[in-house]
Amino acid sequence: MQKMSRLSALIGPSILNADLSKLYAESQKLLDNGADYLHLDVMDGHFVPNLTFGHPVVKCLRGKIKEAFFETHMMVSNPDQWIAPMADAGVNQYTFHIEPVNNVEAVCRKIKENGMKVGLAIKPGTPVADVEKYISMSDMVLIMTVEPGFGGQKFMENQMTKVKYLREQYPLLNIEVDGGVGPSTIDCCANAGANMIVSGTAVIGAQDQAATIKLLRSSVQNAIEKYSQ
């Protein structure tokens, strides 16, 4: 197997469960406590039943936080619609669900033309083969470990077969997991091969955010070292 020496263990807390009236303060606190990036959940009320925030809020946040890596997780029916506004808002990586999209390649190209990295996301019921055909156009694949749309759901361990398959086939691919990930489930994710970890409730609600983020990162780093031997 090709070595994964260039992979990094990256922890990106989801701010979905934070106090959104204090979005800047909560986000800065996460970064100060060791978060590698911020995972911003954007929902349109169509692709998922919930509704969160859009590019104006992200742009305001970028105005306060200049340097951090922003990933928007676009749980929307028409991801093409928001590419330019999110690029203008200062987003670094635009992660979208392939399920509602007719021309995934075109969306990927437009994201790159707008200067952002491409993330491809799939829901638990979507076969990994559906996303595999587009990996060459992407910078990351997100395997959802809950149904998208709500925070605080129970982790779906059966999704680790997708992560394991992708890690075996694409040793240097950035693989992200999102949903129910925390101290009790991190080893499962890390050992399957996930290197980018989205954790919402477990980090936001932790008494010691820094210690929780450190624990998550340590588990992933240990797994990467094992793979790299």
- Catalytic sites, residue numbers: 41, 178
11 exposure class (CB count in 10 Å sphere: 0-12, 13-18, 19+): buried
Rounded to a whole number of angstroms, the CA Rg of the chain reads: 16
| 15, 43 contact by CB (below 8 A) | no
Contacts of 41 (CB under 8 A, 6+ apart): 14, 15, 16, 52, 73, 75
Identify the sign of the CA torsion 128, 135, 213, 24.
negative
What is the Cα–Cα distance from 43 to 177, expressed in whole angstroms? Answer: 18
Query: Residue 86: is it exposed, middle or buried by C-beta count within 10 angstroms (0-12/13-18/19+)?
Result: buried
